[in-house]
Amino acid sequence: MLHAEQQDYFECRDDDIETGGDRRNIETEADLFASTLLMPLDDFRKQVASQQVSFDLLGHCADRYGVSLTVAALRWSEIAEGRAVLVACRDDHMLWAKSNSAAFKSGAYFPTRKSTIEVP
């Protein structure tokens, strides 16, 4: 409903997630809405409070909210107190990377949209 005046048809494809353009803003807003609906911030904070981040912790959150491990990790990175950078890789190359605000401000990010980055 939010972007109904901009286009008549909506479809989420892999290309929409990995590339920029006007459609990227729509996808970002849809992702934010979905994460807020599925993983309320106050409850999510209670689940991860005072715990060291781990695959087990994020897996618990993913199961609790019925989301993927990636989505739970992205939500965690939004509230992480320190710098956090999430990186998804395949075949020794980064597919995408997401830095939280603290990491981005300190220069810790990977420009995966503009170039293919090999994992050392």
pLDDT in tens, the chain (120 residues): 667 677 776 666 655 444 444 556 777 787 788 888 899 999 999 999 989 999 999 999 999 999 999 999 999 998 998 999 999 999 999 999 999 999 999 999 998 888 889 988
Q: Coil, strand, or helix at residue 111?
A: coil
In a domain, 118, yes or no: yes
pTM over cut 0.85: no
In a domain, 77, yes or no: no
The count of domains in the chain is 1
In a domain, 88, yes or no: yes
In a domain, 71, yes or no: no
**C-alpha–C-alpha distance, residues 38 and 66, integer Å:** 8
In a domain, 45, yes or no: no
Domain around 115: 82-120
In a domain, 100, yes or no: yes
Q: In terms of Cα–Cα distance, which of 85, 88, 80, 76 is closest to 104?
A: 85
The alpha-helical segments, DSSP class H, found in the chain are 14-18, 22-38, 41-48, 55-65, 69-79, 101-105
In a domain, 112, yes or no: yes
